């Protein structure tokens, strides 16, 4: 086992052999100079032959979809094979033309913005169900910033900055459910979000936390092994015999014990099957 491999198992068979990759990205990914994360996504989707659907719903900006279409085109994808699914209402999520795009797509890219806005638009719709079923049968899904947070079954909806875990530092909400063993946070080191991720893991108890730095991705393979790509770190907080205590009121500090924390860099791997 090489020194840059963390908690990998080599003998266990894949849990979901037909599933597509899940790629949460910590935001602010390099799109021009060395777009290693976006290039990897394009390669997984089939390179120049890829069909990519962009969902910019989390963003309040009108040109976000066009921006990513330009980026993927610069990486060799035929612009005619790139679709922008700009869902403006929940009724849009029932439209046949959008569902047909997802039927043909090799990959979906969910942009950043506001994860609450994104989930309120998509949750419990035909589009959300289609994304889950297509991912289960090989379509890859990447999401950056808010698009990464929304992947969790229970997501971080909002929270405060800080290293220290405190009462009330994080607010959780239902996410899209693309991953169910982890809760994901983004812009992690840059916005000092360790405290809120610790409290999210403490609240959920059976789920691990993944904190993604900017320009950093966790590429989760069909066998539930995670590979780090990008220039920053991925922090993994895994509950072992988790206990919290020592506080009662809002903003009180909390003690958190019984966790394992791993800080991984590009090339490192982690086996999500080790989470019980």
Burial, 265: exposed, middle or buried (Cβ in 10 Å; 0-12, 13-18, 19+)? Answer: middle
Return the structure tokens found at 97: 């033309």
Residue 122 CA to residue 58 CA, distance in Å, equals 10
Question: What is the greatest pairwise CA distance in the chain?
Answer: 57
Residue 187 catalytic? Answer: yes
Location of structure tokens 């809002």: 250
**Is 28:80 a contact under the CB 8 Å cutoff?**
no
Residue 214 catalytic? Answer: yes
Residue 123 CA to residue 143 CA, distance in Å, equals 16
DSSP string, 93-121: GG-HHHHHHHHH-SEEEE--S-HHHHHHH
Catalytic residue among 59, 152, 187, 227: 187
Catalytic residue among 145, 149, 152, 227: 145
Catalytic residue among 59, 152, 214, 227: 214
Residue 260 catalytic? Answer: no
Q: Catalytic site residues?
A: 145, 187, 214
């Amino acid at each position: 086992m090489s020194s840059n491999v963390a908690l990998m198992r080599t003998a266990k068979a894949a849990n979901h052999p037909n599933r597509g990759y899940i790629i949460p990205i910590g935001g602010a990914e390099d799109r021009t100079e060395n777009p290693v994360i976006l290039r990897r996504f394009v390669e997984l989707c089939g390179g120049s032959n890829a069909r990519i659907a962009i969902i910019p719903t989390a963003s309040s900006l009108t040109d976000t979809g066009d921006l990513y279409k330009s980026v993927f085109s610069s990486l060799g994808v035929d612009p005619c094979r790139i679709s922008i699914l700009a869902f403006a209402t929940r009724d849009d999520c029932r439209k046949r033309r959008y569902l047909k795009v997802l039927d043909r797509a090799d990959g979906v890219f969910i942009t950043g913005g506001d994860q609450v806005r994104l989930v309120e638009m998509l949750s419990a719709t035909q589009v959300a169900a289609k994304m889950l079923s297509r991912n289960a049968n090989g379509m890859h899904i990447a999401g950056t910033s808010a698009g990464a947070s929304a992947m969790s079954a229970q997501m971080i909806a909002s929270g405060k900055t800080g290293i220290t875990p405190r009462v009330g530092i994080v607010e959780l909400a239902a996410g899209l459910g693309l991953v169910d063993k982890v809760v994901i946070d983004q812009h992690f080191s840059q916005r000092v979000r360790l405290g809120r991720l610790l409290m999210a893991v403490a609240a959920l108890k059976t789920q691990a936390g993944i904190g993604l730095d900017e320009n950093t991705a966790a590429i989760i393979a069909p066998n539930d092994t995670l590979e780090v790509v990008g220039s920053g770190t991925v922090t993994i907080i895994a509950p072992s015999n988790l206990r919290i205590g020592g506080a009662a009121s809002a903003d009180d500090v909390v003690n958190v014990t019984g966790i394992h924390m791993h800080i991984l860099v590009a090339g490192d791997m982690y086996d999500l099957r080790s989470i019980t």
